[in-house]
Amino acid sequence: MRIVFAGTPDFAVPCLRAAAQRNEVAAVYTQPDRPAGRGRELTPSPVKREALLRGIEVVQPENFRSIVSKDALRALQPDLMVVVAYGLILPQSVLDIPTYGCWNVHASLLPRWRGAAPIQRAIEAGDSESGVCLMQMEKGLDTGPVLLSQALAIGAGETGGQLHDRLAALGAQVLADGLGLLRAGIRPVPVPQPEEGVTYAHKLDKAEARLDWNQSATRLAAKVRAFNPWPMAEAVVAGERLRLHGAVALDEAPAATPGTLLRASRDGLDVACADGVLRIRTLQRDGGKAITAADYLNGRPELRNA
């Protein structure tokens, strides 16, 4: 089949590889190069780098509003357009161009967690499972019928980064299954999403990574996992702002005001919350790297057994 692929971040790279395995990828669409790093140099997306390595033409429109951009896509004569975390809204006039329309690989079990950050929101909410849906795209935000899906369990201590990598691999597998069916002349049956159970995974904001000790320890521990590696949870502990890489909730009644450091030992820094106690195991000081609580206390021995 002749495929046009649209994607931008690391999550989409395994799917690009799956699409290129037994099909012709006529072009790859990805977002324009963005400034990154301390030097703010223009940096290509992970999908662009993968496409260039494979010798695939790369197209980087700002949007699909112009007739020129739509005509350029139409000229590629795609059988199918595969969209994975592209970051641009596709109007209906674009969705109608490929023979079989546009397929989207989405990292949740729809209709739960439609939107921009389904992986992190699932962990933050304490979900026990996540998964991938291969969806026939329509004009609404992640509202299209599901063609194929695969679920997986979320590990008890799994971070956003770890779940991201597992779902990226699963997404490539589900996409490969769907493409295999289409090559064999079998169109996956579109199943409309149920109206019940719709939730939205709003885009992550750095501001929400600041922990509020007036929340429960269970909720805060979930946030620490969800926001690792980005935007990374942060909090003020014993007068110092720290970035939290790893923490667990302790089921005990705190006998102090939320935010109070109750204990400091090699096992972690135990901070009182509105409900329960958060034990910080791995952390990062300003300008430093991730270290264990034990290493942190070597630099702040006055906190031991606070």
- Quote the pLDDT of residue 68: 84
User: What is the residue-wise DSSP string for 41-100?
Assistant: EEE--HHHHHHHHTT--EE--S-S-SHHHHHHHHHT--SEEEEES--SPPPHHHHTSSTT
- pLDDT digits over 266-306, tens only? 999 999 999 999 999 999 999 999 999 999 999 999 998 76
- Strands 277-284 vs 268-272: parallel, antiparallel or unpaired: antiparallel
User: Above pLDDT 90, what percent of the chain?
Assistant: 92
The dihedral of CA 217, 223, 226, 231: what is its sign?
negative
111 is in an annotated binding site: yes
Q: What angle do CA 223, 227, 233 make, to 5 degrees?
A: 70
Average pLDDT over residues 144-149: 98
102 — pLDDT class (breaks 50, 70, 90) = very high
Whether 115 shows a pLDDT value over 70: the answer reads: yes
Query: Is 228 strand, coil or helix?
Result: coil
For the cut 90, the answer to whether the pLDDT of residue 67 exceeds it is: no
Q: Is 110 annotated as a binding residue?
A: yes
Which amino acid makes up residue 198? V
Q: What is the pLDDT of residues 153-199, one digit of tens each?
A: 999 999 999 999 999 999 999 999 999 999 999 999 999 999 999 99
pLDDT for res 190:
97
Give φ, ψ of 274 to 5 degrees.
-60, -35
pLDDT in the model for residue 306: 62
The region, left, alpha or beta by phi > 0 then psi within -120 to 50, assigned to residue 52 is alpha
Q: What span, in angstroms and rounded, lies between the C-alpha atoms of 21 and 77?
A: 19
The predicted-structure confidence for 213-272, as pLDDT tens digits, reads as follows 999 999 999 999 999 999 999 999 999 999 999 999 999 998 899 999 999 999 999 999
Supply the pLDDT for residue 304: 86
Task: Measure CA 143 to chain center.
Answer: 18
* CA distance linking residue 148 with residue 259, whole number of Å: 45
pTM above 0.85, yes or no: yes
Q: Tokens 């140099």 correspond to what residue?
A: 41
Domains of the chain: 2-201 (3.40.50.170), 206-303 (3.10.25.10)
Q: Which two tokens stand for residue 208?
A: 């929400």
